[in-house]
Amino acid sequence: MERYEILKDIGSGNFGVAKLVRDKQSGELFAVKYIERGPKIDEHVEREIMNHRSLKHPNIIRFKEVLLTPTHLAIVMEYAAGGELFERICNAGRFSEDEASFFFQQLISGVRTPAYIAPEVLSKKEYDGKIADVWSCGVTLYVMLVGAYPFEDPEDPRNFRKTIQRILSVHYSIPDYVRLSKDCKHLLSRIFVADPEKVHTIFNIFTSSSVFNSVLHMTLNRNLS
Ligand SMILES: Nc1ncnc2c1ncn2[C@@H]1O[C@H](COP(=O)(O)OP(=O)(O)OP(=O)(O)O)[C@@H](O)[C@H]1O
């Protein structure tokens, strides 16, 4: 880690903390995720690192290297200076459908296209992250359009138990003050379904939505050609 100068903490997650660092030689900024060595580092983390290492896409944070400190595993990656989506929405308000569609398309092109995925990722048959990815994209789309999380009880947003119940029963609604097109509501309703068997593939969902169709076709054509 001597190569890097630690500048500040940027956040913490389930696995550890993230810090902003500077490469002393090149002056480049990176984010480093520190995960304490020990039981937290299991095959799940290992797979995550292996998968991430093989991804190369403009909308996916680039992975640089993994280092070991006496106490931590340090994952060095590209620094995304934009901050959190939710924070941006809290400060500057929610997105219009057009803006949301632009960012959503960027997000989808990061998760959807197989064109960028390495064979070792595809060959892991147990990988079922796709369904979870579709769901998470739906949550992100909702956040952009509504400016709130879809499964929190508006009266009691910090109650995790309630949130989990709402997720399990797919209980969400769109507040009256948010005007969404029918097509957009339909898209959300197709993403948020309880039974994973019924979750449509991301391809089907997006090709059936006319709001997102033109941008989607452009992305698809680009990725398939
Ligand atoms: N590459 C990065 N560039 C900029 N900020 C980052 C980067 N990686 C992480 N962060 C910041 O640090 C916080 C913690 O990151 P971390 O990846 O540990 O957790 P998370 O993604 O929030 O949740 P989880 O623990 O479920 O992965 C993030 O919420 C984000 O604010």
Among 8, 33, 65, 90, say which to mutate for ligand 1: greatest number of ligand atoms within 8 Å of CB.
33
Looking only at the bridges linking them, the beta strands covering 29-36 and 72-78 are antiparallel
Task: Quote the CATH superfamily of domain 4-78.
Answer: Phosphorylase Kinase; domain 1 (3.30.200.20)
Residue ranges of domains in the chain: 4-78, 85-224
Distance CA 170, CA 150 (A): 9
3-state secondary structure of 134: helix
3-state secondary structure of 76: strand
CA dihedral sign of residues 74, 76, 77, 80: positive
Judge if 4-78 and 85-224 fold alike in CATH terms: no
Structure-model confidence comparison of residues 120 and 164, the more confident one:
164
The pTM is what?
A: 0.74
Instruction: Give the model's confidence band at 75: pLDDT under 50 very low, under 70 low, under 90 confident, else very high.
Output: very high
34 Cα to the center of ligand 1, angstroms: 10
Q: Is 33 annotated as a binding residue?
A: yes
Does the pLDDT at position 218 exceed 60?
Answer: no
Q: ∠ CA 215-216-220 to the nearest 5 degrees? A: 125
What's the rounded Cα separation, in Å, for the pair 139 and 192? 9
Whole-Å CA distances, 49 to 43, 111, 216: 10, 16, 29
Does the structural domain 85-224 have CATH classification 1.10.510.10? yes
